[in-house]
Each structure stands twice: as C-alpha cells, then as structure tokens.
A and B are shown apart, each in its own frame.
Chain A
C-alpha cells in the first residue's frame, strides 16, 4: 500500500512539474525571450494634440511638384495593386 501511495505521489509531483513547465512556456509571451508575440509597446501618455496651425501640412506632395531647383518632389505610388507602382516620380496621382 505504501509503495502504491509512493508511486501516486511521484506521479502527481511529476505531473505538477510538467504542467508548471508547460504553463511557463505558454505564458512566456510578455518577455523578450517568449514564444508568443512580443514587441508590443505603449507610448508615453498624458499628452494631447493641440490645434494644427494653418499652413501646417503633413501629407505627401503630389507627383510633379517641383522645387526651385527643378527637383521633382517624390510622391506615393499611384499604380493599382498588381499593376506595378508606375515609378515615374513626376506624374500626378
């Protein structure tokens, strides 16, 4: 009977150890060395956007816009998906 209890105890401890190990592996995504997704970061908070003043522009220029030096401002691709990007750098969108 004692041997049986000992066997059960060993089995239970072994099971517990392995389940713990598995849980560690599954729950490891928060760390850098985890096997789930890593790399998600939050930004510092506590900030708000103010109004953007007139003349403050963030968008890309359209193709064909040239500066005083004659250099064409680059724009975004304007070809349809699967049809190439039409890398002419100077045509409008």
Chain B
C-alpha cells in the first residue's frame, strides 16, 4: 500500500511534470508562432506602406497629352524642412507628406499640387549642389530613354512607375543637362496661363544650343523657332524656342559668355507679381540673388535666385501691364 501510494505519487508527479512541460512547450511554440506572425504582418505592412503614392498631375484625369510640355518639377535638397519654410513664405505654397516615403513632400498652391520636395543627403566628398529637376511630358518613357541614348544622351535613372503619377525616368542630354521625362497617368495638365506662385517658364542653358535643339527635337518632336536669326537683331545671342501644340514650351539659350557657371542646366521660373520684391524677400529668407532683376524680352522683369540650400530657380513677371522697355 505504501509502495503503491509512493508509486502513484511518483506517477502523479511525473504526470504533473509532463503536463507542465507540455504547457511550457505549448506556450513557447505559441509565443514563437505569434511572434513570427506579428513579424510577418509587420513586414507585409512595411512593404505595402513603402510604396510611395504620388498624386496624379491632374484630378480628375485630363486625358490630354502635351508632349514636350514642362509638367512638373522636383526639388532635390538635403533640407526639406528649410525648403518648406523658404518656398512657403516666398510663394505661399503649403506642403503635404506622401505616404510611403517620408523623404518626399508635395508642395501645393491653393490646394493644387505644384511641385515636389525630395530630401536626399548630399554625397560626401563630391562637388554637387541641390537643384530643381524639370519634368517634360512624353507618351512613352521607355521610347524616350531609347531615343536619348541613340542621340547622345544618358539615362541617369531608368524608368520607374509610381501609382497614380505615372512612369518617369531621369535623363541627361548630350551637353550634360539633367531632366526627367514623365508619362502621366490620367494625362497632362491642360494649357493655361500660370497664376503667381506657379511655374510659368523653363529655360535650358547650354554650351551649344543649335546641337541641343536637334536632341530635344528628336525626343519631343518640337517645332524650333530661332529667335536670334528670325528676330534679326540678336545674332550674337542664340535663343531658340521649343514649341508644341503652337505653344512655347521652353527656351534654349547659349550660356552667357561671361558666366562662370559652365554646367548646362534647366532653369525653371515661377510667376510672380514683382520680381524685385520677390528677390528682396528671398534674401530676407536666407536665399541669394544670382541674377539681379532685369527686364526681359516680354517686357516684364525676371531674376534668378537660389534657395538657402543653393538650388537655383527663376522668378518672372507676366501680365498685360508689362510694357517696360526692353534693354537694347
């Protein structure tokens, strides 16, 4: 009886131990499974959340296509917060973060997307500077890439698709000027006169304008208007107008002879009511004046400025009242 009780007692402890062991195993395996499940869910959510969603250029979709039109601009800067303060105060832009990439912010004017700001660290040890990247409309980004390569250009970032925005790539022309092409999902913005605070004009400053017109004509099928020769009075200042749909889309200038900035580049202009006032305000906000306000061909003033990070951009007046005398 005593042995029997002892035996029963031992069996009982063993059973209890087994039971505890099993419970421990189950708890451990259950926790492991829960952790794995949680990690998997986290990974899936992270992957889905990381797909940056850029808004379409037009809402509702325009269905229009204006090949060669400048349809967008992205600022690439190491200081997005500083850029927001500067451009917000200068042009009245507001900003919105984009889901999927905390480094990308959307600039808006009166609630409408006007530009993108992209935070990117400046590479150490390299002489590079922040810049506005100009986006030109195409129907087929891959064909534009191929065309650029065939005509002496380069592909800096191959075609990439963004839901709602469309497909885009970053290219360089034969002179080295960087630009992007975008096949916008839903179509390009309709043609209208920019209001103050919106982009109104873009100029390409290059070493060899004539050669560059061939490149851009091949990619965007532009009509090229030679202001220097057809105007008759500017033989020494090469200035071509690239047009499509009977609209001037961009200007193509030779770099000024006395300019020390030799690297060819696109320069985008925001419409302003008063270029001189805007230049003063830009300086007060930490920017710089690169080209003092001056009267241009259309009878209004323009200036070239730099934001606090050094990215150049232009400001341009444009109104029916612009009747100032052009410099001779």
The interface of chain A, by Cβ under 8 A from chain B, is 1, 3-4, 7-8, 10-12, 14-15, 18-19, 21-23, 25-26, 28-29, 32, 35-62, 65, 67-69, 71, 73-85, 87, 89, 92-93
Partner of A49, one of B230, B243, B291: B291
Partner of B190, one of A11, A45, A71, A85: A85
Partner of A8, one of B28, B76, B328: B28
Chain B contributes a number of interface residues (CB within 8 A of A) equal to: 109
Q: A85 vs B296: C-alpha distance in the bound complex, in angstroms?
A: 23
B119 and chain A: residue at smallest CB distance: A40
Q: A12 vs B300: C-alpha distance in the bound complex, in angstroms?
A: 67
Partner of A58, one of B103, B247, B251, B263: B251
Q: Smallest Cβ distance from A88 to chain B, in angstroms?
A: 8
Check if A15 sits within 8 Å of B35, measured CB to CB. yes
Partner of A11, one of B32, B104, B169: B32
Mask for B169-184, Cβ within 8 A of A = 1, else 0? Answer: 1100000101010000
Q: Which 5 A-B pairs have the closest CB atoms?
A: A67-B230, A11-B32, A85-B191, A45-B129, A18-B39
Check if B76 sits within 8 Å of A75, measured CB to CB. no
B301 and chain A: residue at smallest CB distance: A59
29 example contacts (A-B, Cβ-Cβ < 8 A) are as follows: A14-B39, A15-B35, A15-B36, A18-B36, A18-B43, A19-B39, A29-B101, A29-B103, A36-B100, A36-B104, A37-B52, A37-B54, A41-B156, A43-B131, A45-B127, A47-B262, A49-B290, A55-B236, A57-B326, A58-B205, A62-B298, A67-B225, A76-B194, A76-B247, A83-B192, A84-B192, A87-B246, A93-B318, A93-B319
Q: For residue A26, which residues in chain B have a CB less than 8 angstroms away from its CB? A: 46-47, 49-50
Q: Smallest Cβ distance from B167 to chain A, in angstroms?
A: 11
Q: A75 vs B263: C-alpha distance in the bound complex, in angstroms?
A: 27
Q: For residue A75, which residues in chain B have a CB less than 8 angstroms away from its CB? A: 247-248
